[in-house]
Amino acid sequence: MGEAVKDPQKPFMIILGGAKVSDKIGLIENLLPKCDAIIVGGGMAYTFLKAQGKQIGNSKLEKEKLETAKAILDKAKQLNKEILLPVDNIIVDNIDANAKTEIAGENIPDGKIAVDIGPKTIKLFEDKLRSAKTIVWNGPMGIFEMDAFSKGTRELAGFIGSLKCISIIGGGDTAAAIAKFKLEDKMSHISTGGGASLEFLEGKNLPGIAALTDK
């Protein structure tokens, strides 16, 4: 992971997902100048879409992070870095494994909840990742624990597994998803530390590693 963060083979792409923007701010700030593009899915994507003025229905929103999301989008523009967000979404009335799913575009109707990225978004993300030499992935694209909402995470994982690149999977839910889809042997490295891998990617000093390197 250290090599990937310090001196990544380019193009260097980051995939971020999971529920909260607040969990990933440090990582984005640390890696935005170093990466070529950031792909955003999962619940955190809807705070970014809302910051762009899109309708997100009842999807996950961190109201207090809207200004932060706007600032990140502005900074990416200044640095000429691409941030890719979902262009279509799998939506439901309520989060239930048997809920009837529909596909919505960037704007999600009132009362609907986005639970996964849609087919156009999967293709958009895969097309972007095709040229990557280093990929760091932290956070699933949807509620992968429910099979009906797992397609985005599963297809992206399978696609990354087929690429000739360095693929680093941050721990926690992302590692659980890779294990669920039985793709562990297709990835270069899977971190077993969820919070620790995030801190490492934020550029923070990890006490255990500091102790090991202190000769």
- Residue-wise pLDDT for 39-90, tens only, equals 999 999 999 999 999 999 999 999 999 999 999 999 999 999 999 999 999 9
> What does residue 10 show for φ and ψ, rounded to 5 degrees?
-100, 155
**For position 135, what pLDDT does the model report?**
97
Taking phi over 0 as left and psi of -120 to 50 as alpha, with beta for the rest, 202 belongs to alpha
Residues 125 and 87: their CA atoms lie apart, in Å, by: 10
Query: Any idea where the domains of the chain sit in the sequence?
Result: 2-213
Distance of alpha carbon 10 from alpha carbon 117, whole angstroms: 26
Say if residues 201 and 30 touch (Cβ distance below 8 Å): yes
Distance from C-alpha of 84 to C-alpha of 198, rounded to nearest angstrom:
20
Q: How confident is the model at residue 185 (pLDDT cuts 50, 70, 90)?
A: very high
- What is the third-level CATH fold of 2-213? Rossmann fold (3.40.50)
d(CA 166, CA 128): 15
Which long-range CB contacts under 8 A does 190-194 form with residues at least 24 apart? 191/1, 194/170
Mean pLDDT for all residues in the chain: 93
Q: What is the pLDDT of residues 87-119, one digit of tens each?
A: 999 999 999 999 999 999 999 999 999 999 999
Whether residue 193 is predicted with pLDDT greater than 80 in this model: the reply is: no
The predicted model gives 154-176 an average pLDDT of 94
Which pLDDT score is estimated for 26? Answer: 87
Percent of the chain with pLDDT over 90: 78
Q: Where are the beta strands (DSSP E) in 70-112?
A: 82-84, 89-92, 102-104
15-34 pLDDT per residue, tens = 999 998 988 988 899 899 99
DSSP helix/strand/coil, 119? helix
Q: How far is CA 113 from the centre of its chain?
A: 18
| Surface-to-core class of residue 129, CB atoms within 10 Å of its CB (0-12 exposed, 13-18 middle, 19+ buried) | buried
What pLDDT shows up at residue 204?
79
CA–CA separation, 210 vs 22, rounded Å?
26
